[in-house]
Amino acid sequence: MMQRLTNSWQLVKASAAVLRADKELLVFPIVSSIAALIVSASFFVPAWITGFGQQVMERNADRSIGGYLFLFAFYLVQYVVIFYFNSALVGAAMIRLDGGDPTVSDGFRVASSHLAHILGYAAMAATVGVALKVLADRGGRAGQTISRFGGLGWTIATALVVPVLVNEGLGPMAAVKRSTALLKQTWGEQLAGGLGMGFVFGLAYLVAIPVGVIAIIGAAATESVVMIIAAVVIFVLAILLIGLVQGALQGIYTAAVYRYAEGQRVGGYFPPDLVAAAFRAK
């Protein structure tokens, strides 16, 4: 456990070194989060107002065909937003790992140059997402189990798709195959431990949430509306900041992992043995 914590913390520090060199990389997860929130609101608010939301949220075999079509459309638009900004972040991070000094416009330029492939990959991911949802809804317990493992397998197989799209310009199907091949080639078929950052940031949430709750309770004890609002706002901003930093660091680390898998240098930020230690061969 202690070694896992140590390795994870070293990965966070290495990624944070890149983020410190290019603080503007935080722009991508910030804008991505705002855009994703707008997309969610534009889909689900009208759905609830019209009463269609109930069909969308139905579980198991009760979910209608219209509900699945709605989910596909939502997944498609949401994935386009997520993959576009992730591509911008990874593209900018790769420029830094190559020794350059990226700007926000550089990241958007990289993402925009691969927009067609991003759209294709978003459509593929949306199709897989709906297919897994149908399987979980209508396949009973077996379908739910297969859906869970299928989702996990898809997540592993596509771990390096974004840097592949950005760096190699492959189509969505070829990018997924390439991502899977890179993982098998370098670390074996079974991914162990993921990127490791979730562990460290999980601890950050475990600390921030209780502290925030205690602060809000203390503010409530003062019976001051200003103090209560201030405590709630600070708590929410702290949680959001943790999430945004985590998103930025994960994007940076994904770029480094791809570089390592390709046998390319990862700059002076990530020692190769540290990157390799994040994965274990089967």
Highest mean pLDDT, choosing among 16-20, 27-31, 180-184, 246-250 = 27-31
Would you kindly state where each structural domain of the chain is located, as residue ranges? 2-277
Fill in the DSSP letter of residue 191. -
- CA separation for the pair 278, 282 (Å, rounded): 13
Residue type, 57: M
Euclidean distance between CA atoms 183 and 154, whole angstroms: 13
Phi and psi, residue 245, nearest 5°:
-65, -40
CB atoms within 10 A of CB 33: 17
pLDDT of 274 above 50: yes
Q: Which residue has the higher pLDDT, 223 or 234?
A: 234
Q: Give the mean pLDDT of 37-61.
A: 79
Q: What's this model's pTM, rounded to 2 decimal places? A: 0.83
| Residue 270 binned pLDDT confidence (cut-offs 50, 70, 90) | confident
Residue 179 has pLDDT above 80, yes or no: yes
Answer whether 266's CB lies under 8 Å from 259's CB. yes
**Per-residue confidence (pLDDT) for residue 193, from 0 to 100:** 42
Which position has the higher pLDDT, 192 or 243? 243
- Tens-digit pLDDT profile for residues 86-121: 999 999 998 888 888 889 999 999 999 999 999 999
Q: How would you label 122-159 residue by residue, b for 16+ Cβ within 10 Å and e otherwise? A: bbbbbebbbebbbbbbebeeebeeebeebbeebebbbb
Contact between residue 56 and residue 67 where contact means Cβ atoms under 8 Å apart = yes
